[in-house]
Amino acid sequence: MIILEESNSSQTFNFIPREYTSGTTYTIVIKDELKNTEAYNDTATSFTAVDYYYSFTDTFSLKEDNTYTLEIKDGSNVVYRDKIYCTNQTVSTYSINDSVYTERSSDNEFIVL
């Protein structure tokens, strides 16, 4: 799963495609899972190669606490598919219960008969 932020600045995600040919035009499509609408659609002829994976950088218009599907296609051939989760929390301290769950303390006193 890829984690991105709700931001108007440029963001990067990394991926390992099934196949990659330099100079080929790839279509990058991000769809909102809840609304089933396109949130992003663009083409790229190259990705940044880093060791054994590739990077893609652009500005995405995503909404916080939403999940998206990502597909990178070479024509009709899907070369990469993943999910994106949009959150403004830092990844290292991310909690699904952020500001929602409060822990109750208990002394665990039991009555034994």
Domains by residue range for the chain, with CATH: 2-90 (2.60.40)
pLDDT digits (tens, 9 = 90+) for 49-69: 998 999 999 999 999 989 999
The residues pairing with 50 across neighbouring beta strands, listed in sequence order, are 53
Contact 1, 41 (CB under 8 A): no
| For residue 38, pLDDT beyond 80 | yes
Tell me what the mean pLDDT of segment 71-77 comes to: 93
Report the C-alpha gap between 89 and 99 in whole angstroms.
12
pLDDT in the model for residue 96: 66
DSSP string computed for 33-60: TTTTEEEEEEEES--EEETTEEEEEE--
Give the chain's mean pLDDT.
87
Confidence of residue 93 (pLDDT cuts 50, 70, 90): low
pTM for the whole structure = 0.76
